[in-house]
Amino acid sequence: MMDQIQATIITIGDELLIGQVIDTNSAYIAQKLNSIGVQVHQRIAVGDEAKSITNALDRAIQSSQVVLITGGLGPTADDITKPLLNRYFGGKMVLDQPTLDHITYIFEQVHKRPMIERNRKQAEVPDVCEVLFNQTGTAPGMLFKKNNSLIFSLPGVPHEMQWLTNEKVLPIILERLKLGVIAHRTLLTAGVGESFLAESIQAFETNLPDNIKLAYLPSYGMVRLRLTGKSDDAASLNSQLDTLFELLKEQVKEHLVTDKDETIEVVVGRLLKAQNHTVSTAESCTGGYIGHLLSKHAGSSTFFTGSIVSYDNRIKTEFLDVPTSILKTVGAVSKEAVEQMALAIRSKMNTDFGISVSGIMGPSGQTDEKPLGMVWIGVANKEKVVSKVFYLRFDRQKNIEVTANQAINLLRLLIINKI
C-alpha cells in the first residue's frame, strides 16, 4: 500500500488559545481532507506571534505533504499571517487585481460605503504564492510550495474557509497529489456504556486486519462506532469494510440506533415522517433544547408541531394540567409529573406523541431525596405513557444535552414498540 499523504492543520489566533473562540475550522478541514484520503496527523494552534507561527510552519513542512493554515488574514494590525508568509517564502508583496476588483465591488456595490486603504491592502499578496480567489470574502487564500509540501493559507472566518476548502483546496490536492483511499463506516448505539460495549465486541476488534481500525466515539449518552480502512484500491477496501460492518452491526444489534453517521434526532425525524406522525414537547429542565434538536433540520415542520417550556410550576399546572397535589407531594421532578406533562402536551398540541422532561440540572437545587443530575423523562402516545429516571453526572449544559438526547431516544423506542 502506498504511503498515506500526511497533513498538518495550523490555526492562528490568540482568541483560540484563551478559549474565547472555539476552533471549529480544524474539525471541518480534517473531515474534508479525510474524505479524499489525506490523513491529518497533527493539529497545531498558535497565537498571533511570529516566532510561534514560524516554528509551527517548520515543523509542519518537515512532516507533511499538505499544510493548511487558517487565520490572521484580516485587515487589522494583529493579522500577521500574510506578511509573515511573504518573508518566510522569500517573496515581495504585489497587488492582485482580481481580488482588488472583488473587494471594491463588495464595499461600493454591496455595502454602499467607500473602501479604505486598510481594506485595499487585503488585495496585496506575496508574488511567490498562487492566489486562491475568495468569492465569499475580502481575504484571498494563498498556496505556497516548499520541498514536497503544498502550503495553503485560508481566512479564519468559517464560511470563507469552508468555501475555499471545497472549491479550491480539495480540487488542487486531488489534481496534484497521488492519494491513497480512506473509507469509513459509522453506526450509533444507545443504552450501553463505552466500556461495556468494548468488552462485548473485544473479539471482533482483536481480529480486525491491520488496515482497519475501530474507534469509539461517546457523546451525549450514546456511543458511535467507526470503522476506518486504508488501501490503494477503493473497490476492495469498500467490499472489505462492508463485510466487517455487517458483522459489527450484528454484534451490537440490541443497542443499534442507526447504521449511518447521523444524529438521534435525524433518525427519529425519519421514523416520524415515514409513519406520518407528529410530536410535541413539554420541557422544564431542558428549556426548549429538545424542541431545538427536533426542529434544527430541514423538513422538521412535517413532524414537530411545537413546545411548552414549563419551567415554572405554575405553567405545569395551568397549561399542562399537573395537579398541585402532585407538586406538593412528590414534586415536579417525579414520575407522576412527567407522565402528566407528556399526556397533556400530546393532547393540547393534538400530536401522535408527546415528550416531557423535568430534572435538576445543577449546579444547585438538589435535595437528599433528589440529587444533582436526577432527571425524569416521559413519552406518550394514544395507547400509553412511559417514563424513566436518569442520574447524570455532568455540568449543567452537558446534563441538558444528554437529557435531550435520551428523551429523543426514549421516543424512538416507543415509536418502534420497544418499550
pLDDT tens-place string over residues 191-237? 999 999 999 999 999 999 999 999 999 988 899 999 999 888 989 99
Q: Which residue has the higher pLDDT, 309 or 71?
A: 309
Residue span(s) of the chain under CATH 3.90.950.20 come to: 264-415
Mean pLDDT of 99-110: 88
pLDDT at position 56 over 70 = yes
For residue 194, what is its C-alpha cell?
A: 463505552
Specify the pLDDT at position 79: 77
Residue 44 pairs in a beta bridge with 10
| Residue located via cell numbers 485595499 | 120
pLDDT in tens, 226-268: 999 988 898 999 999 999 999 999 999 999 999 999 999 999 9
**Domain 264-415 part of CATH 3.30.230.10:** no
Question: From the CB of residue 164, how many other CB atoms can be counted at a distance below 10 Å?
Answer: 27
CATH label, 181-258, candidates 3.20.20.10, 3.40.1390.20, 2.40.160.20, 3.30.70.2860: 3.30.70.2860
Euclidean distance between CA atoms 159 and 94, whole angstroms: 26
Mean pLDDT of 38-46: 93
Specify the pLDDT at position 78: 66
> pLDDT confidence of 73, banded at 50, 70, 90?
confident
Residue span(s) of the chain under CATH 3.30.70.2860 come to: 181-258
- How much is the pTM? 0.80
CATH label, 5-176, candidates 3.40.50.150, 3.90.180.10, 3.40.980.10, 3.90.1150.10: 3.40.980.10
pLDDT at position 63 over 70 = yes
Euclidean distance between CA atoms 72 and 22, whole angstroms: 16
Residue span(s) of the chain under CATH 3.40.980.10 come to: 5-176
Identify the CA nearest to 103 among candidates 78, 86, 123, 128: 123
pLDDT at position 339 over 80 = yes
